[in-house]
Amino acid sequence: MKTDQPATTMSTTTSVRRGELTCRQAVENAINAAHRHAPLNAFVELWEEPARRRADELDRLIASGATPPPLAGLVFGVKANICTTLGRTTCASRMLADYRSPFEATAVRRLREAGAIPIGSLNMDEFGMGSSGENSAHGPTLNPWDRTRVPGGSSSGGAAAVAAGILPLALGSDTGGSIRQPAAMCGVVGIKPTYGRVSRLGLVAYASSFDQIGPITPDVHSAAVALTHLCGFDPDDATSADLPVPDFTRDLLADPGPVRIAVPRQARLGSNHPDVSAAFDRSLDSLRQDGAQIVDVDMPMLDAAVNAYYIVATAEASSNLARYDGVRYGRRAPNAASLEEVYTRSRTEGFGPEVQRRIMLGTHVLSAGYADEFYLTALRARRVIKQEFDAAFAMGCRAVAMPTAPNPAFRLGEKAADPASMYLEDVYTVGVNLAGLPAISVPMGLSTSTGTALPLGLQLIGPAFEESAILNLAARFEARVGRWSPPA
């Protein structure tokens, strides 16, 4: 269903400032919506009472005549691999089923300090490892457009909750497309910031040189608002970039002047779903009508991006997840007869099949005799991919455009027995993480040949720390093509 005037993240905060809505009412609306849409399985848990208490505190502050914080009344959800002190941080894994973090992530703290109210932990693929939302110890998340289909992953709960109208903002994490791909499959906006732009403190590590926190929102303006509050240097994060943070909402719809946008040959894979190809061509036409010059480029190393990503990312995962051994914290197998049995049983019982698969793959590519052949080769490919993006920007291109995903949302269980096919759903997103660049997914139309209307995403990739440029292009594109909402 096409929507001409979508709700924005700021609509709630504007209503609160005008006295048309209280923070408590905003929280109750979100709680009621979460219960109404419970079959989507978007939440791991709801933090109802803490949210109500925080809302009441803000309402008392506003009633006293004080100026409300900029995001007062904004309700948001937190992906289950981002630490909070309000509930469990499970990473959607049996390994951390009862884990409670002693501290909260910097990203969560910054939103809270701006007046936003966290309301619950969002479902996901276990430890961020998955492209469908099916690899969760809490069960799969369902797509609000069609509950027989996946919402994408790994930030499945956030994308589903925003698409269903439960939340105006969800915090996700993106290691190889885990914000952008579910945003595309659920018809919402998701942005992966430049590596280092948002603090990683409190984000449970999957692949440390890839992981980034970012927002999932109903529209581009909301993403810009959220990003303005999320970004900034964090002295407690060694990967944090010490750079000034602009107001990303400033001049969001301003005329950018002459713009060149690169379109790689690799964006037109023969394996693309016909509806994706058609919608992508229409999107390029819309960008041309807005004054952009489309430049065809060749980025041959993108053909190897999936291979390089799944070697480097799994290598880092095998190292990061070694800490979950049944001794220090996390699940510990009972009645084990030896230390080796503690390790083996705790990890076998605690990790799901996809996490086990990636740990084994990562351990293999780092092992003696294979590290040079696989891991170091993948690192060289990573460097060349970054150089290819840089070459496109050096030509004067403000962004690189590709589909976000090669297919619309597929049916639950359709790719479960074929991991390689599942990994190829990330073919257009993983290169961005390899290069550490910012990218946004914005809805570009609907697929109708699948028997049901399913959203499709356009991805715009920018130079490092140029989030403002891609937000501007995305906002102008959104203004031209409109937005869509799932059928009620």
Phi, psi (degrees; rounded to nearest 5) at 63 = -65, -25
Question: Which pLDDT value is given to residue 10?
Answer: 64
CA 388 from centre of chain: 24
Beta bridge partners of 75: 117
Contact between residue 419 and residue 365 where contact means Cβ atoms under 8 Å apart: no
| Residue of 121, 131, 136, 154 marked active site | 154
- For residue 455, what are its two tokens? 């959203």
CA 375 from centre of chain: 26
Beta bridge partners of 216: 170, 190
Contact between residue 221 and residue 249 where contact means Cβ atoms under 8 Å apart: yes
Distance CA 453, CA 448 (A): 5
Q: How many CA atoms lie within 13 A of 256 on its CB side?
A: 24
Question: Which pLDDT value is given to residue 208?
Answer: 97
Distance CA 133, CA 377 (A): 30
Question: Which pLDDT value is given to residue 5?
Answer: 37
Question: Which pLDDT value is given to residue 6?
Answer: 36
DSSP reduced 3-state for 29: helix
Domain regions of the chain by residue span:
2-258
Name the nearest CA neighbour of 162 among 140, 185, 139.
Answer: 185
Active site residue 79: yes
CA–CA distances in Å: residue 223 to residues 5, 473, 474:
16, 13, 11
DSSP 18: H
The predicted-structure confidence for 329-370, as pLDDT tens digits, reads as follows 789 999 899 999 999 999 999 999 999 999 999 999 999 889
| Residue of 131, 178, 199, 447 marked active site | 178
- How many residues make up the chain in this entry? 488
Superfamily of domain 2-258 in CATH is: Amidase signature (AS) domain (3.90.1300.10)
Cβ partners under 8 Å of residue 339, min gap 6: none
- For residue 47, what are its two tokens? 């933090």
The predicted-structure confidence for 181-196, as pLDDT tens digits, reads as follows 999 999 999 999 999 9
Question: Which pLDDT value is given to residue 84?
Answer: 98
Question: CB neighbours (10 Å) of residue 300?
Answer: 12
- For residue 30, what are its two tokens? 């979100």
Angle of helix 220-230 relative to helix 106-113, nearest 10 degrees? 110
- For residue 25, what are its two tokens? 């009412």
* Per-block mean pLDDT, blocks of 10 residues, the chain (488 long): 48 85 96 98 98 98 94 97 98 96 98 98 98 98 98 98 97 98 98 98 98 97 97 98 96 93 95 96 97 97 97 97 89 92 94 97 93 95 98 97 98 94 96 98 94 95 98 97 84
